[in-house]
Chain A
């Protein structure tokens, strides 16, 4: 006596296998489609902008004429901006992470700080621009200076740096800390001489990735009122300035087709800076990351 109709089962099985294969194909196709847009984007920008990359492009200020337009003020301005954002955001971010991971007891205040950080990460960047405009530009009367923009950007990427630093500090095993205490070290000595040295590669990697987000961020700068047509370089943090994404935004919205190619060239510069920063971050991660 047969309990199973083998033929029917095989038939059903085969059709299920075919459906499985078809869907595997669909999923793979969708994934590749998403990745292809990146390829199209890169190809498009390279093919349009590469012709405008020349020494003059790096050495000229903004201009009404596309062939004379250069990126000098924006590139130097972005470097100035980073010179403010990097120390401020890393000081605040690493300090907060040390507090939350090493000192904070489980109570309502510290829980509130944690919840607050995750919610702050979800606030749109343009709203941070409004904060910067009110507090730094107007209330503290910093104007549209490097410092005002730098503080705004620092607050914007603060949650990212805190979370990355927390993860890096958490990855240091508690045995290492216990060993340090056992040798008679105080808590702060343990943090500065044992925990931080082994967490620093992870902290740096996360911070550089956060900084690379800040360098491409446009909306807060627009809201703060960072100008674009600038014919001089800032000589201090209280000077007005312009930045790479601002310059690209200005070129991209001009109606002339030539300026859109100039915008492409600007994007190539911006993406190269990002690529450089990300490579450094990956290099640090691979070279110095300790595995316990």
Chain B
């Protein structure tokens, strides 16, 4: 053993290496901090980009006619109009239908998984829901255009090829896993002792679910719905493929519409040149979209913090 131990001379020689190690130990946190700061730079980059290009847009189009204008005719030869309201209405139509589809189904799935399902059922259902969440949106878009729309046309004869209903339903299907899994998390966080107390008083499982668990998990459930709505608002490929490109400021669901995201895609795939008003308009629309989703995300965080019940 003794000869394996380093001699004093070797230890002195090693001291230099140790000093190197010390500078390394000091440098590493700095390097890692810079890496971690890149995510902040990304956010700043997004905000900066959107603000600068949107500002240029507003030098060409007055702010109020953008915000309150009810006509979106960017490609008009005579007089282009940039009123964002039709695009917002289109986005809200799709989101509205998505919520109608996803909230009942997602919440039912969450209640079933957290209050009724056996361990085996849960082990089978949860991975399938995860697969549903992992399907690329382009695949959902294809499904909406080539399957859901033709099927719906059997029931609603006046439904056009491009409409708000079919992509709305499919966006709803897309956000079901989000509502189901986040709500289930919130409901599973309700302690079992409360459940058992209610069951011991003679409640049925339904009564436990609706009167005990649901109110206790309400903040998490509401947050999941708001987050899912934010996802629906930002969804791009489903609406680009199946909702059409006709901005309209009315209550029509069966005709071609256009959402904010679909307009950005339309311009990006079109031949509008760099530096034209149309080019800058996608930043103004993108900025509006960004603000919508940011507000929804902050709202979701606020809800889940504010109304959380601590056990």
Contacts and interface: CB of A to CB of B under 8 A. Distances in A.
B261 A27 contact: no
Contacts of B45: 131, 135
Contact of A34 (B145, B173, B268, B293): B173
A245 B136 contact: yes
Contact of A223 (B38, B111, B235, B268): B268
A207 interface: no
Contacts of B202: 13
Interface stretch (B1-9, B126-134, B152-160): B126-134
Nearest to B151: A40
A120 interface: yes
Interface string B226-245: 01001001111100110000
Contacts of A96: 32, 35-36, 38-39
Given A92-B38, A113-B37, A218-B237, A186 B139 contact: no
Nearest to B53: A134
Interface in B124-181: 125, 128-129, 131-132, 134-143, 145-147, 173, 176, 180
B132 A222 contact: no
A34 B236 CA distance: 21
A145 interface: no
A219 B265 CA distance: 7
Contacts of B147: 40-41, 44
Nearest to B145: A252
A99 B142 contact: no
Contacts of A31: 105, 108-109, 112-113, 125
Is chain A's interface secondary structure helix, strand, loop, or mixed overall?
A: helix
Which one of B139, B240, B268 has the highest number of Cβ atoms from chain A below 10 Å of its Cβ?
Answer: B139
B132 A44 contact: no
A187 B27 CA distance: 12
B302 interface: no
A20 interface: yes
Interface size class of A (residues with CB under 8 A): 35 or more
Contacts of A217: 136-137
Contacts of B109: 27, 30-31, 34
A87 interface: no
Interface stretch (B57-65, B69-77, B187-195, B204-212): B204-212
B108 A219 contact: no
Contact of A19 (B21, B36, B113, B204): B204
Given A123-B293, A130-B50, A134-B49, A16 B261 contact: no
Interface in A31-65: 31, 33-35, 37-38, 40-41, 44-45, 48
A126 B289 contact: yes
B29 A124 contact: no
A34 B136 contact: no
Contacts of B143: 41, 44-45
Contact of A219 (B43, B134, B261): B261
A143 interface: no
A233 to B, nearest CB: 22
B38 A130 contact: no
B222 interface: no
A209 B133 CA distance: 12
Interface in A83-128: 91-92, 95-96, 98-100, 103-104, 112-113, 116-120, 122-128
B132 A218 contact: no
B129 A267 contact: no
B264 interface: yes
A143 to B, nearest CB: 12
A98 B33 CA distance: 9
Which one of B31, B227, B234 has the highest number of Cβ atoms from chain A below 10 Å of its Cβ?
Answer: B234
B282 interface: yes
Interface of B: 21, 24-25, 28-29, 31-33, 35-40, 42-43, 45-46, 49-50, 53, 104-106, 108-109, 111-113, 116, 125, 128-129, 131-132, 134-143, 145-147, 173, 176, 180, 202, 204-207, 227, 230, 233-237, 240-241, 261, 264-265, 268-269, 274, 282-283, 286, 289-290, 293-294, 296-298, 301
Interface of A: 13, 16-17, 19-20, 23-24, 26-31, 33-35, 37-38, 40-41, 44-45, 48, 91-92, 95-96, 98-100, 103-104, 112-113, 116-120, 122-131, 133-135, 138, 155, 158-159, 162, 186-188, 209, 212-213, 216-219, 222-225, 245, 248-249, 252-253, 260, 263-264, 267, 270-271, 274, 278
28 contacts: A16-B206, A19-B206, A24-B205, A33-B105, A34-B129, A35-B132, A95-B36, A100-B36, A103-B33, A122-B296, A123-B46, A124-B234, A124-B290, A126-B234, A131-B49, A138-B274, A186-B21, A188-B24, A209-B134, A213-B134, A216-B137, A216-B139, A217-B137, A219-B237, A223-B264, A223-B268, A249-B240, A263-B142
